[in-house]
Amino acid sequence: MIKIKKNILLIDQHDRDGIYAKKFGGSYVPETLKKPIEDLTKLFQKLRYDKKFIEERDYHFDNYIGAPTPFIKLQNLTKHLGGAQVWAKVVSDANGGAHKIYNATVHCLIAKKAGKKYVVGDTGAGYAGKMLSMAAKKFGLKCKVFMGAKDIKRQKPNVDAMKKNGAEIVPVYSGSQTLVDAVSECMRYWVANCQSTHLVVGSTVGPNIFVKICAWSTAQISRELMIQMKNVFGRIPQRVKLINCVGGGSSAMGFWNEFMDYSPKQVEFVGVEAGGPTNSKHHAAPLSNNAKIGILHGSKQYVMQNKEGQISETESISSGLDYPGISPLHCFLKDAKRAKYTSATDEEALAAYQLVTKLEDISPSLEPSHAFSEAIKLAPKLKSSIVIVVNSCGDSLKDKFIIKKRLGSYKR
């Protein structure tokens, strides 16, 4: 049985090669990238323990991102479901509307320290790209974003935001024209431009250093939540369920990090993957469907693949979850039985979006709507002393055209 060590951050529980639990992660990159990755690893290792850098990061988290984001009780939803209490960490209130701002801000600060003038990143839902374009503009960096052509069409509001911020958007026409192809093209670009350009991987995926930087950045979410829960309840309640959608896994890692050493009986982690349209065979849910281990984007992980090991195409109403792989950190959590993973279909996510927006004054995007769907399934079966917290990690505005098409109208 794989064990998680206590008092050591999960991102530091890998071996010399960046492998977690002897089987996930690593850094499988072309020779050209070995040196830039080594340099970035050394720089990050220095900066993360540098008091001045932490002060700088916290200054921007507070005064640019607007930390802390609210932690609120969803009174009407709780009453409607008639069981466990349902709360939300409204991360969509962060500047830009989603958790991707933490990773983008930290990466731009690192890029400045590395003396780089250009940043390049991938995006699916457009939030990673939008946030990178915002942070790049703020810190005076030139920004390029790779995005699947299918996602460019379905996430227009975020595409417009990137353009407004002066980012160059490179449409990706290969493969399924979604996130997986955007990440591949972005990494390919970096191979040829790594001397001048800093790479920003938009989730806790990719070669190990990018997994670490991203999870380290989003951990702000659970740092805040820990304080907020203690303020509200006087302590961390006896039974808590932290429910988060999972694409690459960055918001879930950030939401859970501080609670890692609690017993799973007290603080349970539930990850919700994208089941795609009802009965889809192309779902983007490797953890809840026992996918096999493979290598994608430079790291070993459970990944949707065919018999020959070729990466499978996926489909989901939410671009942000439409990804065949998953962070090695989540593979580790799954095998250590620290987190449970399940999935929600497109239809379930839409229904959850409808119910939450009808009863409450928050408007989750389709990614966190997957997490709300699980909360809606669980709450009625549980006692009112149990506290469910959903990470409402993105704002629905980016999905307004999809929602209008599927449900007939969209109101913010």
Ligand X SMILES: Cc1ncc(COP(=O)(O)O)c(C=O)c1O
Q: Which residues bind ligand X (CB under 6 A)?
A: 98, 100, 124-125, 127-128, 203, 245-251, 320-321, 365, 367-368, 393-394
Rounded least distance, CB 145 to ligand X, Å: 12
Q: In what order do the strands lie in the sheet with 71-73?
A: 71-73, 85-89, 387-391, 240-245, 267-276, 339-345
In whole angstroms, how close is the CB of 328 to ligand X at the nearest point?
A: 13
CB of 133 or CB of 365, closer to ligand X = 365
* DSSP for residue 178: S
Q: How far, rounded to the nearest angstrom, does the alpha carbon of residue 246 sit from its chain's CA centroid?
A: 7
- 85 or 251: CB nearest ligand X: 251
Residue with tokens 């979006």: 353
Closest distance between ligand X and the C-beta of residue 365, in Å? 5
Taking the complex as a whole, how short is the minimal distance between the CB of residue 336 and ligand X, in angstroms?
A: 19
Shorter beta-carbon distance to ligand X: residue 329 or 386: 329
**Residue whose CB is less far from ligand X, 204 or 305:** 204
Do residues 225 and 255 lie in contact, with contact meaning Cβ atoms separated by under 8 Å?
yes
Contact present, 360 and 92 (Cβ < 8 Å): no
113-141 residues labelled b (16+ CB within 10 A) or e (exposed): beebeebbbbbbbbbbbbbbbbbbbebeb
Instruction: Give the span between the Cα atoms of 288 and 343, in whole angstroms.
Output: 6
- Residue pair 315/282 in contact by the 8 Å Cβ criterion: yes
Q: Cα angle vertex 374, ends 65, 69, to 5°?
A: 15
- Map residue 191 onto helix, strand or coil: helix
* Residue 200 vs 245, nearer CB to ligand X: 245
By beta-carbon proximity to ligand X, the closer residue of 111 and 274 is 274
Closest distance of CB 40 from ligand X, Å:
20
CB of 321 to ligand X, least distance (A): 6
Nearest residue by C-beta to ligand X? Answer: 394
Question: For residues 328 and 386, which CB has a smaller minimum distance to ligand X in the complex?
Answer: 328
Least separation, in Å, of the C-beta of 196 and ligand X? 26
Asked whether the beta carbons of 370 and 349 are under 8 A apart, the reply is yes
Q: What is the DSSP letter of 34?
A: H
Closest contact distance (angstroms) between CB of 211 and ligand X is 11
Closer residue to ligand X (CB): 102 or 190: 102
109, 56 Cβ separation under 8 angstroms: yes
